[in-house]
Structure 1
Amino acid sequence: MHSPLFANPSSEHRFVDIILPLNLPQTLTYGIPHEMQGFLQPGMRVEVSLGKNKQYAGVVERVHNEQPEAYQVKPIKGIIDEEPIVNIKQLQFWKWIAHYYIAAPGEVMQAALPAHLKMMGETRLLWAPEHEDVVYDWSYDALRAVEILAVRKELSITDLRSIVGGRKFMAVLHELLENETVVIDDSLESSYKPKKEKIISLAAKYNEEPELIKLFDELQRAPKQLELLMGYVQLSKQKGFVRQADLLERTQASAAQIKSLADKGVFIIAEKEVDRLLYEGVDEQKEIEFTPAQQKAYNELNAGLSEKEVVLLEGVTGSGKTLLYIHKIKEYLASGKQAIFLLPEIALTTQLVGRLRAYFGEELGVYHSRFSNNERVEIWEKVQSGKYRVVVGPRSALWLPYNDLGLIVVDEEHDGSYKQKDPAPRFHARDAAIYLGALHGAKVILGSATPSIESLFNAQNKKYGYVRLNERYLGVQMPQIEIVNATSLNMVRQQGVRLLTPELQQAIAIALKEKKQVILFQNRRGYAPFQMCTSCGWVPQCKNCAVSLTYHKITDKLHCHYCGLKSPVVHTCAYCGSNSLVSKTFGTEKIEEEVQQVFPKARVARMDIDSMRNKQSLPQLLDQLGKQKIDILVGTQMVVKGLDFATVGLVGILSADSLLSYPDFRVNERAFQLMEQVSGRAGRADGAGKVLIQVYNLQHPVLKWVKDHDVHGLYHQEIKYREQFGYPPFSRIIKIIFRHKEEPKAIQAAAEMANKLASIEGIGIQGPAPALVARVRNLYIQEVWIKCPQSVRVLEHVKSFIKEERLRMTGERGFSSLQVVFDIDPVG
């Protein structure tokens, strides 16, 4: 922390509103000590105490002179930053997110700031005996703690509790304090640690060429040391500096051998702070050449952006929308602005970054949850300083400290992954990007091959500009789509094949023969979504959640996809005792196994959340796909989103019926988007792509729209239905979720809220009703859905009403553990 003594004491501002990283309904006001006045600015972090001297690092939202009447203010204890780490526009953005999505300011702060900028506060015990010469008569439990403290010199309260156990903890702590052997330190410290590495340099005298030649001659009799010196000279010429780790890798030497050269006065070893995000890229940046169709769309995009703040770019899969984005970003960078390139998934980020580096070089930053906390702090600082002028990433990229934002691109704007589900703030990144753009006076491009109904509606009503690019890059044909009757599976089941129709098997064989890659899409992970007893119909359920358990062959266990529970495989029915348990339906693991059986020579890989848990799993898989080391890729929704490989010739959708029967008003829209997007992975280079959709319900209208790539046929049908039943975009929806360990209390609370809401005119109420999964982690879940008209006044009234009701409910006796969660504009 920095001393505030250089502050200007003449300022009249005596109070600050602080955002604390807690679920508090509002900011808290603290006093500014006289000697700190004139220095504090919004966006700085300060140290404050709350409750019984618990220390927190908060962010200053406002500096003012308005003394609260309701309570006596405490003074802030210290100032952490010399300069704000959060800028004014970020604070305004946080405030809007908290207000619109009914989140606590502290919940927004927790989501927005990298962990290491939130500081760490935990009481520590420092070993400082008052009387060094006294021999203490310690109890057995205290002696264990004392022995560790004497060596380590400090312990956190958490460490002490784990050493002596919860029951003895208070007694031991009291004993340590009574004997005056420890002092309590409650200060805050940053958990961000700069990366330090050992950097090797030559002693100054060897910078002279004659001395260096002489040194080479002297080391002729020490071949390993000579190799180290040669390696040093080569690395120094390539990079300008030499990391010890690189020198060791280059020469296969040991650290002891480097040290021996240092002892001789040849090398100097210094520990220095280094950049975790070292970029080794191309020196020359690529130029962009448009096709006539792209040039026409680009001209229309420019015209749209000159008239509107937001433009919807609808471009069929493989049309080259990315090139339009890149060209537009380059224009904004040339005018000194920053840009954001939002993507719905990390998977897309991983593949796209390599392409973007060729256009933006070192000015490109990447931000997502796969980075370590330390790396995220460094990215934050590079955006703040302006070193990164383009940032690509999923929804978290919106939180970074942009100073001069000119353009935001939201690619695949229809994607449900843009909506944060848990924890709060449950914001929609597409809508938040539009607000952030307005704050900065920036333009926003929404891009998709399958735009959301809401965005198409806004374009049709001239709220957004609209550009359509309906031709694939270089005129490549759209893939041929074939609907396959899934009843033909009955013909091959006696051969041991359960998942691939004869038509799909034949198509895969032809694609493999032509050296084309194949993608098989199934919207479920695991080996078999559930087991079932054929005698009585019993299905193994999670003991914590109201869902069936999914079998994963890789672990040979039943998994709960909601709470993470893993259970042994069941061989005997718990209800009737029968051992006739069978697997029903199928997941990606099962498909992978069957494909390998049918095509034993094919190289098969799987892409789902289970197989991609490791940080390097995704980049490695994409690299193998790009080098054609994988013939058949089996995956869930991850394969749908933007994978761009020229040699993919066939896409198979294995169970389209599961996409068409989900209980949600967006089911047709979602099914169309998924099938159209995954279809778009085929034939992107040569137009010789083929898509097979296995389905039982051949008459479903979505199938015709997918076959014809007809986004607007879907739109015109859906918009009539939405208007008739009052769904978005003709209303705003709020979902209220009630969770309680006792089901009657969850039902009672939900019913009470629904009854109270009935007094508000002009809104529609659905529920209360159990959630689709009615119990998760031993909490029963009830839901109430509210349809609000497109009126800001009514929406604000409803939000204010439900916030007050939540406060009243959770304050009632017996309901303190009730969880009431608000989800504004839910996506399903």
Structure 2
Amino acid sequence: MAVQNSFSKELYGEILYAEVIVPLHVPKNYTWSIPPDLNDRVTIGIRVEVSLRNKKYAGIVQSIFSEKPAEFTPAPILNILDNEPLLYPQQLKLWQWMAQYYMCAEGDIMQAAVPANFKLSSESILIWNDFFDDTDLSHLDEEEYLLAEALSIKKELRINEIQKILDSSHVYPIIKKLIEKNICFIWEELKQKYSVKKDTFITLHPNLENEKALEALLNNWGKAPKQLELLLAYLHLKRTEQEVTQSNLLKKATASAAQLKGLLEKNILVAEKRAVDRLPRLDSISSVNIELSEAQNIALQSIENSFQTNPNCLLHGVTSSGKTEIYIKLIEQYLQQDKQVLYMLPEIALTAQIINRLRKHFGASITIYHSKFSPNERVEIWNKVKSGEAKIVLGARSAILLPFQDLGLIIVDEEHDTSYKQTEPTPRYNARDTALYYATLFKAHVLLGSATPSLETFHNCEQKKYGYVYLGERYGNVQMPNIQILDLKSLPKEREERIIISPLLKEKVEQVLQQGKQVILFQNRRGYSPYIQCGTCGWIPECKNCNVSLTHHKHKNKLSCHYCGTEYPLIYTCPACGGHHFIQKNFGTEQIEEVVCEKFPEAHVGRMDLDSIRGKHDHEAIIQLFEKKKLDILIGTQMVVKGLDFENVQLVGVLDADSILNFADFRVNERAFQLLEQVSGRAGRRNEAGNVIIQVTNTHHPVLQFLVKHDYLSMYKYEINNRKMFNYPPFVRLIQVFVKHKDKMVAEEAANLLIEGLKYFKNNITGPAEPVINRIRNQYIWEILIKLPKDAKIIHNFKLSLLQQVAYIQNFKKYRGVIFMPDVDPN
């Protein structure tokens, strides 16, 4: 097939064909023909309007070719939606690679990557048939008559309007009857959802721009003193601000719209609507004033040297070693080369603090991108990145999918973090690994940064696949925090509930607060308590949709499922025995907040978890409160301990380390060490060593022995030997397949059929087995684990066989509703 990237007008009249990506989960991209009059306008990456299954979509052209498909006659492209491509070839290559590697459709990636306002789909409009000459509608039933009469008057109606007229959401059968009777027909309209934001700007009338004319007006002012006050307020505001908006003028002058209207009618002021950015504009700053320590300078030089021979490098810097300052110096170098830089962080919560740091040095060059932005804001960010106006993009996982024009450097901070891996929905990609491939398309460099690198990354450094730079000195020569393991078994228990704040931790918190320092308390569970239990018979309330216990959220007075999001009223009577006594089992951040407020009534307490951080700026607000010392104690889940830098924190308490150490997962030791070491790194980051108290019952766990010494290397050696012995990554590639169906038996049968069809790989397959939580959203789950050697050909053949077997199984009517979810490199 002859693929062409550009076409001259000499081809006008020749029939060409385009492979188009539509935002749907389809096995392969479909082909449409290009009408001859559009030959010179259709290019790779441009959005086009296409019809599929009687609906219209905005698709993206993946490739153009001249050879007609032999199996079918493609339908024509209907229209071109933009004047220039939405994507560059590098993004389309990235999508192809992601679809192949993560076993998904390019339409899935389009859904994840492209802002919602670019992913148009059609809206049905019912049109009155002007050639319908039968004015007698009496033969229609009541609903048909009501709709036909409305149509005869308005001539066209949208679906939502029809639903209101008929007071029903089930309107399609009625519409179908009217179409069959030739009363109307359906027309599909593709709607552009993005709208330019406009604001009203106020300027002085051109006749008064002359100072003498303005002075004469003011000297001869008659009545209307309020209008005079407003005019003077405008003149003052004009001197202090470059442009004056109507809303700002009325607010600062405490004036009414009527007073402004009077000045407009007298041709003294002029109102004009203009397009404005939804994103705030910042001043440009060109210099980076940072003094690096000797250790930081050596690390920076080592990274630069490493990039001479290897495009990828790991900066392994202990907590509070000043990795961010090194990143800033590197970013400056790439900006001087007029290159774009992507700075990736695993959590939105981290961006607030890093934003403030980077803005001090780069000002307007910084663009932020994460899931809290509105669809219109995302469009504007997309366009800024694509045009090259956005030089530095700071973002979470999805920022890797932006259309960079000339990418020079990708920084993946906290590269070990599990948040870089998307688990739901498809595509289930790892943004860190995707960044490594994406950089190759630009010949860019990737700097991975972490105090606790993932075993896979550190192993790649040992194998010389990545460069390696170690920064083992905390900034300012501050000592690493002292870690104290507190054995909860040694404490007397007065109640059934677990101890939340031990006497030792309480004493230490009091001491720290008396010194004017701050405390972080960490618990990796949100809500009030993970579950409640009947004190009489032991019954535990579970979600009706999932096989999981419900979490108690006291502030909402609800029981909530953290898997499907369903909320239930709080239970006061046990349905099993009729008892009224319920016990709170374990504890979450909400209950900790309540206990802390009781024990330390003078302290100002804040909480940061998914329940308390909802709005776009909520995380930034609570971080700023803590930075400004308006909070004494901050309670939180993982988002409060990863990468944040608070100079006044003297004590960190881990309230329930057992919940981190006791998971049935081959990565549990690695993840526990990473999380607890990151937690400890929040303490004593400036002038003196901080203290960390870890409350735990299993005090002999090997991870704790490594942790007390801050000994990453010993943990790595211990874990890598176990991985090699039991054949786990980084020595093999993992693919996990989840098989789901609302009928448990059907799901199990489909899972066994899948394994039967993969007999060639039977020695690589474990399962099928039911996971611990075997039903979510009324779908029963079976899982299959595949361990494959790190051989590209074997992995490719397995993926092909897996997809073919899934297609074969879904040909049977019984299994058409079965969902097969492959997860490549699962967390």
TM-score (norm 1): 0.95
Per-residue deviation at 1:131? 9.1
CA distance in 1, matches of 2:492, 2:152: 74
In structure 1, the residue matched to 2:116 is 115
Is the Cα–Cα contact under 8 Å of residues 742 and 780 in structure 2 kept in the other structure? yes
Deviations 1:340-362, CA, capped at 9 Å, x for gaps: 00110111112211111122121
- Pair 1:600–1:125, CA change in 2 (3 A): same
Within 2, Cα distance between the matches of 1:545 and 1:364? 42
Q: Which deviations, in whole Å up to 9, do the C-alpha atoms of 1:560-591 show, x marking residues without a partner? A: 11111111212222223333321110111000
Shift of residue 124, structure 1, vs aligned partner? 2.0
8 Å contact kept, 1:488–1:502: no
Higher mean C-alpha displacement, 635-644 vs 275-284: 275-284
Shift of 1:179: 7.7
Alpha-carbon distance in structure 2 between the residues aligned to 1:393 and 1:818: 35
Judging changes above 3 Å, is the alpha-carbon distance between structure 1 residues 422 and 218 closer, same or farther for their aligned structure 2 residues?
farther
For the 8 Å contact 2:47–2:82, the answer to whether it is kept is yes
> Which residue is 1:785 aligned to?
785
Match of 1:767 in 2: 767
Alignment of 1:518 onto 2:519: yes
1:474 to 473, 476, 500: 476
Shift of 1:237: 3.0
Answer whether contact 1:524 1:588 (CA < 8 A) is retained.
Answer: yes
Residue matched to 2:381: 379
CA deviations over 1:509-538 (Å, ceiling 9, x no partner)? 011111111110001000011111233322
Q: State the distance in 2 between where 1:817 and 1:542 align.
A: 23
Counterpart amino acid of 1:255? A
1:504 aligned partner? 505
Tell me the residue number matched to 1:279.
Answer: 281
Aligned to 1:798: 798
Q: 1:76 to 1:668 in 2, by over 3 A?
A: same
Aligned-partner Cα distance in 2 for 1:59–1:50: 14
**TM-score normalized by the length of structure 2:** 0.95
* Aligned residue identity for 1:800: L
Counterpart check, 1:652 vs 2:653: yes
Amino acid at match of 1:593: E
Distance 1:661 1:468 in 2: 30
For residues 174 and 8 of structure 2, the distance between their equivalents in structure 1, rounded to whole angstroms, comes to 45
Does residue 337 (structure 1) correspond to residue 322 (structure 2)? The answer is no
What is the correspondence of 1:665-680 to structure 2 with a 5 Å cutoff? 665-680=666-681
Rounded Cα–Cα distance in structure 2 between residues aligned with 1:169 and 1:79: 30
The unaligned stretches of length 5 or more in structure 1 are none
Amino acid at match of 2:523: Q
Distance in 2, matches of 1:135 and 1:823, equals 60
Q: Which residue of 2 aligns with 1:683?
A: 684
The question of 1:619 aligning with 2:620 is answered yes
Give how far 1:220 is off: 7.1
Structure 2 equivalent of residue 706 of structure 1: 707
* Residues in 1 aligned to 2:21 and 2:47: alpha-carbon distance in whole angstroms: 9
Partner of 1:235: 237
Distance 1:795 1:6 in 2: 41
Secondary structure of residue in 1 paired with 2:630: coil
Which residue of structure 2 lines up, in the alignment, with residue 531 of structure 1?
A: 532
> Relative to structure 1, is the Cα distance of residues 185 and 370 closer, same or farther in structure 2, using a 3 angstrom cutoff?
same
**In structure 2, how many angstroms separate the alpha carbons of the residues matched to 1:234 and 1:150?**
57
Distance 1:149 1:641 in 2: 59
1:98-122 Cα deviation digits (max 9, x unpaired): 0100011111111110111112321
**Whole-angstrom distance in 2 between the partners of 1:806 and 1:133:** 53
Distance 1:153 1:318, change over 3 A: farther
**Structure-2 residue corresponding to 1:547:** 548
How far has the Cα of 1:276 moved from its partner? 1.0
Give the structure 2 partner of residue 418 of structure 1. 420
2:174 counterpart (158, 171, 174): 171
- Which whole-Å CA distance do the structure 1 matches of 2:800 and 2:664 have between them? 29
What is the rounded CA distance, in whole Å, between the counterparts of 1:688 and 1:464 in structure 2? 33
Aligned 1:61-100 pairs, distance under 5 A: 61-100=62-101
Deviation at 1:126, TM superposition (A): 5.2
Q: CA deviation at 1:201?
A: 1.4
User: Is 1:347–2:349 an aligned residue pair?
Assistant: yes
* CA 1:612–1:467: 2 relative to 1, 3 Å: same
Amino acid at match of 1:157: I
- The change in CA–CA distance for 1:565 and 1:298 in structure 2 (over 3 A counts) is same
Aligned counterparts, 1:589-628, within 5 A: 589-628=590-629
The 8 Å contact of residues 143 and 174 in structure 2, kept in 1 or not, is answered as no
**Aligned letter for 1:123?**
S
CA pair 149-626 structure 1, distance change in 2 beyond 3 A: farther
Partner deviation per Cα, 1:158-214 (whole Å, 9 max, x = no partner): 44235422555432564488585x664313121000101111111101111112223
- The answer to whether structure 1 residue 314 and structure 2 residue 316 are counterparts is yes
Distance (Å, rounded) in 2 between the aligned partners of 1:607 and 1:543: 29
Residue 760 of structure 1 aligns to a residue whose secondary structure is: helix
Q: Deviations over 1:12-47 (max 9, x none)?
A: 561111111111111111111111113211100111
Q: Secondary structure at the match of 1:422?
A: coil
User: How has the CA–CA distance of structure 1 residues 795 and 648 changed in structure 2, closer, same or farther, with 3 Å as cutoff?
Assistant: same
Relative distance call for 1:256 and 1:31 in structure 2 (3 A) is same
* Residue 293 in structure 1 maps to residue 289 in structure 2: no
Please give the alpha-carbon distance, in whole angstroms, between the structure 2 residues aligned to 1:220 and 1:635: 63
Q: Secondary structure at the match of 1:771?
A: coil
Distance 1:35 1:497, change over 3 A: closer
What residue in structure 1 maps to residue 4 of structure 2?
none
Do the aligned partners of residues 223 and 642 (structure 1) sit closer, same or farther apart at CA in structure 2, a change above 3 Å counting? Answer: farther
Identity %: 44
- When the two chains are superposed, the root-mean-square deviation of aligned CA atoms in Å is 2.4
The answer to whether the Cα contact below 8 Å between 1:367 and 1:391 also exists between their aligned partners in 2 is yes
Shift, 1:243, TM fit: 1.3
Counterpart CA distance in 1 for 2:482 and 2:340 is 40
CA contact (8 A) 2:132 2:182 kept: no
Provide the rounded CA distance (Å) in 2 between the counterparts of 1:145 and 1:96.
Answer: 50
State the aligned residue count.
Answer: 819
Asked if the contact 1:16/1:31 (under 8 Å) is kept, the reply is yes
Equivalent residue, structure 2, for 1:260: 262
Q: CA deviation at 1:284?
A: 6.4
Question: How far off is 1:686 after superposition?
Answer: 1.5
State the Cα deviation string for residues 245-287 of structure 1 (Å, max 9, x = none). Answer: 2112211222222222111111211221111113134756441
Aligned twin of 1:188: 190
Q: Which residue of 2 aligns with 1:392?
A: 394
Q: Do 2:58 and 2:118's aligned partners in 1 also have CA atoms closer than 8 Å? A: no
- Conservation of the 8 A alpha-carbon contact between 2:51 and 2:57: yes
Letter in structure 2 aligned against 1:621: I
Following the alignment from structure 1 to structure 2, what is the Cα–Cα distance between the partners of residues 338 and 288? 21
Q: Give the counterpart letter for 2:427 in structure 1.
A: P
**1:126 and 1:153 in contact (8 A); partners too:** yes
CA contact (8 A) 1:282 1:358 kept: no
- Please identify, of 69-78 and 125-134, the stretch whose mean Cα deviation from structure 2 is larger: 125-134
Deviation at 1:704, TM superposition (A): 1.5
Q: Judge conservation of contact 2:547–2:773 (CA < 8 Å) in 1.
A: yes
Q: Does structure 1 retain, via aligned residues, the 8 Å contact 2:8–2:40? A: no
Q: Secondary structure at the match of 1:704?
A: helix
Matched to 1:396, the amino acid is S
What are the Cα deviations for residues 284-325 of structure 1, in whole angstroms up to 9, with x where unaligned? 644121001101111111111111111000001111101111
Structure 1 residues 611 and 7, CA gap change in structure 2 (3 angstroms) = farther
Range 232-241 or range 265-274, more displaced: 232-241
Q: Which deviates further from its counterpart, 771-780 or 406-415? A: 771-780
1:139 to 1:219, Cα distance in 2 relative to 1, 3 A: farther
Instruction: Please say which of residues 445-454 and 356-365 is displaced more in the overlay.
Output: 356-365
Q: Deviations over 1:34-86 (max 9, x none)?
A: 111132111001111112x3211110000111211111111111111111111
Q: Which residue of 2 aligns with 1:365?
A: 367
Is residue 31 from structure 1 mapped to residue 33 from structure 2 by the alignment? Answer: yes
Match of 1:814 in 2: 814
- The alpha-carbon distance between structure 1 residues 23 and 131, as it changes in their structure 2 partners (threshold 3 A), is closer
State how far apart, in whole Å, the 1-side matches of 2:512 and 2:154 are: 64
Contact 1:285-1:361 within 8 A present in 2 as well: no
Q: Is the 8 A contact 1:413 1:452 kept in 2?
A: yes
SS at match of 2:773: strand
Which stretches in structure 2 are left out of the alignment for 5+ residues? Answer: 1-6
Q: Which amino acid aligns with 2:454?
A: S
Q: Which moved more, 1:138-147 or 1:413-422?
A: 138-147
1:823 paired residue number: 823
Alpha carbons of 1:435 and 1:516: their partners in 2 closer, same or farther (altered >3 Å)?
same
